[in-house]
Copies of this chain bind each other. A is one copy, B any other.
């Protein structure tokens, strides 16, 4: 017999059985009370609660999760937390799911499938209740891990074929088409595209492709030019891109931007050069950021369903967690906000 009790407990943490002892009940009852208070009789419940209070008991989620083989954790992966557009979706999800007692584990992929794979791998080892990913492009290994895991998966912010499971988003192709049509309707004939990360951001790419397709349809020609600014301080990058565009295609009369920050940068540069917006050049952005209605002139843009996506994803998560096995595909649409930057006289 090995009698030297191997002391492993470092901290004298208050455990459930401490509470049980004080309340003079069994640990099972405390556990039950914590999980389903109604199934414990009134007086006992009160005894337990007061024991919890006096001891300052904090349940150990790890132990619970291990025993129950489930956590109340939702893994969420967005391309970048620096992008205000995703912040707002995540914020909404946080509110909706937090209210139901779920924790969000937030990670970012930096627009790279390999990064995403690493994050998903880590998150899965928390055995989350669900996973929420951005977009439909994932590495083969990511897809494999996810489908092996029997964790509900929700993809958001995009529409397309072969979703892993549930899909909540809108069509970026349609956004591009709408942007192009809008400028053409405003009388533009030579339309350029200024975006960022077109090489890695699948959704940006789709918007660009959508506008290109629409331009072919409507005008029978492509973008006069497509400029990719790369990441970084976008407003500044757009300054240069715009200047560059003006020198290579001085007859440009419309620009579609990958996002509103780029448009803001170009707007400033235009004003500095005395180019009149929208009369010389009409502009439309994407994102409807905080400032988009306050630029000079106010910026026409696309408002993606940021908060709506967050809310709908949260609903889907809750349904899936409760076992409703409906794999859906929800198109939340978007809104084109026509403002002065594209209102030509």
Contacts and interface: CB of A to CB of B under 8 A. Distances in A.
Interface of A: 8-11, 56, 58-63, 65-66, 69, 71, 80-82, 84, 87-88, 90-91, 94, 103-108, 121-122, 124-127, 144-145, 148-150, 233-236, 238-239, 261, 264-265, 268-269, 271-272, 290-291, 293-296
A238 B148 CA distance: 51
A82 B71 contact: no
Taking the full assembly, how many copies of this chain does it contain?
2
B91 A108 contact: yes
A207 to B, nearest CB: 20
A136 B159 CA distance: 44
Given A60-B66, A62-B66, 18 more contacts: A8-B69, A58-B125, A61-B126, A62-B127, A80-B91, A81-B90, A81-B91, A82-B84, A84-B84, A84-B87, A94-B108, A103-B122, A233-B293, A234-B290, A235-B290, A236-B293, A264-B291, A272-B296
Contact of A291 (B11, B62, B82, B291): B291
Contacts of A121: 58
3 closest A-B pairs by beta carbon, nearest first, are A235-B294, A235-B291, A62-B66
